[in-house]
Structure 1
Amino acid sequence: MDSVNKSFSNQQVEINLLPDYQAIDFSKISIKKQQKSILQLSTLLVIFCIVFLVLYIQTQFIGTFYIAGFLLLIFILSYINIFLQQPVYAYAIREKDIAYRRGYWVTKTTLIPFNRVQHVSIVQGVFDKLLGISTLKIFTAGGQGSDISIPGLDLALAVKLKEAVAIRISVEEDE
């Protein structure tokens, strides 16, 4: 029992010697992510317009215009949100981890060490295929809160990043 305690070490780390995560050289995601979001929101807007037009023709209820006006305001705010989010989306792959940044009111940066990564996948929805982009999903041992999805990557880049992460995972497992 004493030999186990003698080999244990937990030295304190000097705070000023820690690396600054904000010094990461992030890569921006493709502008096609913004185009995808606009396309999705516009499709939804057209569907809502058709539904409210049919609803108004069927009921002649004047309150339909108030509801439609409120929803139109929400759509306008959603379009603004899309334009504000795009410049913040970024990712970086470093020697020991992968970083993902998002959010404009509250910027959130997630760092995931490769030794926590369980697997990586690439997802492409209908609009993604149309625009030639994909989402790289990284799943960790820490549960759903630590998983990340990097949207708006060109498909070739997503495949390249997936392979790079897979190589890093295997290197971490070997050590």
Structure 2
Amino acid sequence: MASVMENFTNRSIDIASLPQFEEVSFEPISKAYLIKASLQNLVFFCLAVIGWVVLFYFEIIQFQLNILLIGIVLYFGFKFWNIFQLQKNYGFVLRQKDILYRRGYLVNKTTVVPFNRIQHASISRDVLDKMLKISSLKIFTAGGSGSDIIIPGLAPDLALRLKEALAAKLTANEF
């Protein structure tokens, strides 16, 4: 045991020599995801307007109805604007030793997952995804309670190729 400890070194790493993920060009997700998110938002907007019409029918105080309508329009206007801004920044890239996923516009978030941390990957498609011909790739890592990365808005064939590439990398890392 003493001989193992004598040979132990823990040298510092030059931070400037680390690879920069900001220099990578990210692949955008499909514009069909923008349509999906907008449709989902539109459904909730219609439900809010129907609720407002019901309140109008029951003759709630006009001033309160006007304030509520302004609130609904502002809230959903922001939600639509948010969807368009987010679409510009979604991106992913598969590198030699990891996968990167970027999202956000006010607060940009980039997740880097090394292949040796990935447990498995799955593809999911809901009804709207099938109609719009898109998929979501879910990547699960060791120690996580759910999927750690969900990349939405991928073409089904691209999602399948990414999943197979991840599986190949995982198989290569096992031996």
Same-fold call, TM cutoff 0.5: yes
Query: Contact (CA 8 Å) 2:137, 2:150: kept in 1 or not?
Result: yes
Matched, 1:30 2:20: no
Give the direction of change, closer, same or farther, for the CA distance of 1:142–1:53 in structure 2 (3 Å limit).
same
Q: How many Å separate the matches in 1 of 2:145 and 2:82? A: 25
* Deviation for aligned residue 1:6: 4.4
Query: Contact (CA 8 Å) 2:139, 2:147: kept in 1 or not?
Result: no
Q: For structure 1, which segment, 12-21 or 100-109, has the greater mean C-alpha deviation from structure 2 after superposition?
A: 12-21
Q: How many Å separate the matches in 1 of 2:72 and 2:101? A: 32
* Deviation for aligned residue 1:79: 0.7
State the partner residue of 1:136.
Answer: 137
Q: How many Å separate the matches in 2 of 1:60 and 1:15? A: 63
Q: After TM superposition, list the pairs within 5 Å mapping 1:90-169 onto structure 2.
A: 90-144=91-145, 147-169=148-170
* Deviation for aligned residue 1:146: 8.0
Q: How many Å separate the matches in 1 of 2:67 and 2:106? A: 29
Query: Contact (CA 8 Å) 1:123, 1:137: kept in 2 or not?
Result: yes
Query: Contact (CA 8 Å) 2:139, 2:149: kept in 1 or not?
Result: yes
Q: How many Å separate the matches in 2 of 1:146 and 1:21? A: 22
* Deviation for aligned residue 1:25: 2.1
Paired residue secondary structure (2:88): coil
Q: How many Å separate the matches in 2 of 1:34 and 1:147? A: 22
Give deviations 1:2-38, integer Å, cap 9, x for gaps. 2432454433221221111111121111111111111
Query: Contact (CA 8 Å) 1:117, 1:138: kept in 2 or not?
Result: yes
Q: 1:78 is matched by which residue type in structure 2?
A: K
Q: 1:127 is matched by which residue type in structure 2?
A: L
Report the TM-score, using the length of structure 1 for normalisation.
0.92
- Equivalenced residue count is 174
Q: How many Å separate the matches in 2 of 1:46 and 1:91? A: 33
Q: How many Å separate the matches in 2 of 1:6 and 1:138? A: 40
Give deviations 1:56-88, integer Å, cap 9, x for gaps. 213444223321220210000111111111111
CA RMSD, 1 decimal? 1.8
State the partner residue of 1:48.
Answer: 48
* Deviation for aligned residue 1:128: 1.1
* Deviation for aligned residue 1:46: 1.2
Paired residue secondary structure (2:123): strand
Q: 1:105 is matched by which residue type in structure 2?
A: L
Q: How many Å separate the matches in 2 of 1:50 and 1:110? A: 39
Paired residue secondary structure (1:28): coil
Report the TM-score, using the length of structure 2 for normalisation.
0.92
Paired residue secondary structure (2:10): coil
Unmatched 5+ stretches in structure 1: none
State the partner residue of 2:5.
Answer: 5
